[in-house]
Amino acid sequence: MRKFLAVALSVAMVFSMVACGKKDDTKNPDKNPNVTEAPAGDEKNDNTEDGVIAPDVKENTAGSKLWNAFLETMKANPETTPVDMANALATNPVIQFAAGGNEVTPGYLAGFSEEISGFEKGAMFGPMMGSIAFAGYIFELADDADVKAFIENLKNVADPRWNICVAADYTQVGAYENTVYFLMYPAEMDNASAEGGAGEAVDATVIYPDVAENTWGETLWEAFETHMIDNPSATALDAAFILSMHESIPFMAGSSEVMPGLLTGFENNEITGFKSGAMFGPMMGSIAFTGYVFELEEGADVESFMANLTDKCNPAWNVCVEADQTVVGAYNNMVFFLMCPNSNQSE
């Protein structure tokens, strides 16, 4: 297998070089010269352990951040639909002028020279500006589908020059179980992502909450902190959406934007002093659970804002049931707030 992969990689590199020079269409007609290799220095990774087929991505790039966000969400909630995933990736700060996700069906899709079929559900995500050579897709295949064959077909018919005026530099394809991730994007997007790479420690001011181990509060705080480390420019709505997709939240309802004023969980007390905010939680109102992510202005007094939340919250706002935990923490100017039952996630 290793010899096979080495030969395959060598062949791909040779034809990548040919594509950059004079193109001779009479040689190797079965090879698509438009398939772009990963950035120089990447390591080949065909690890399929735990259902993961990893693409060739270089750390601390736009491609790695989007792949990591995809993988993090799929592992937390394997039932995530392609549209939900595309919407989540479209909120990532590395995508300029994000337009959200759109459902796609088998047929001719932007970025491919031939029709794409063999998937049950699909969605596209990308920037609003058509002048950016960027196209992203999420495909959900049948449980018994040949995922590797589907991935190879995507690579073979991908056309980084579909945009005519501009061309994508990198084509990256991976999968988590039967959900396939596809991305083409230009190298200049990596320049904007050079600092604060995915999974890499960055300078930050973190105010850790006082929270019991092995509870919803600890689990979701850790998910919030991890997401902020990976995506230091994430918005409140983006962070809340990621948390709403976490596997520990039953009957998740997604996230919704909130404005300063009267908010659920704070009785008759208005909550102000934040620039943007979002709420996340379960769909079932019988669960004493409500979560928020607030983004404050740069330089705001984060500790005072957190103390105000603690003073004004009411764990018994749900009338029939009462929250056992109130968890408040912050990552830079992003504040995490949660009221929930003191449940043990391992049980």
What b/e string do you get for 247-272 counting C-beta neighbours within 10 Å, with b at 16 or more? Answer: ebbeebeebeebeeeebebbeeeebe
Q: Which of 341, 343, 304, 347 is nearest to 326 (CA)?
A: 341
pLDDT score at 113: 93
Phi, psi of 225 (to 5 degrees): -60, -45
CB atoms within 10 A of CB 332: 17
Domain parsing of the chain, residue ranges: 34-191, 206-340
d(CA 336, CA 324): 17
Give the span between the Cα atoms of 5 and 342, in whole angstroms. Answer: 49
pTM exceeds 0.85? no
Give residue for tokens 């009267």.
262
pLDDT in tens, the chain (347 residues): 434 334 343 434 333 333 333 334 443 334 344 444 444 434 444 445 688 999 988 888 889 999 999 999 999 889 999 999 998 888 887 876 666 788 999 999 999 999 999 999 999 998 866 668 899 999 999 999 999 999 999 999 999 988 777 789 999 999 999 999 999 998 878 765 544 443 343 467 899 998 888 888 999 999 999 888 878 888 899 899 888 888 777 767 678 899 999 999 997 889 999 999 999 988 766 788 999 999 999 899 999 999 999 999 999 887 778 889 999 999 999 999 999 887 654 44
> What are the DSSP calls for 287-333, one per residue?
S--EEEEEEPPTT--HHHHHHHHHHH--TTTTSS---SEEEEEEETT
Task: Give the CA dihedral 332, 335, 340, 342, nearest 10 degrees.
Answer: 30
In the structure encoding, which two tokens stand for residue 21, read together? 């020079």
pLDDT, position 234: 84
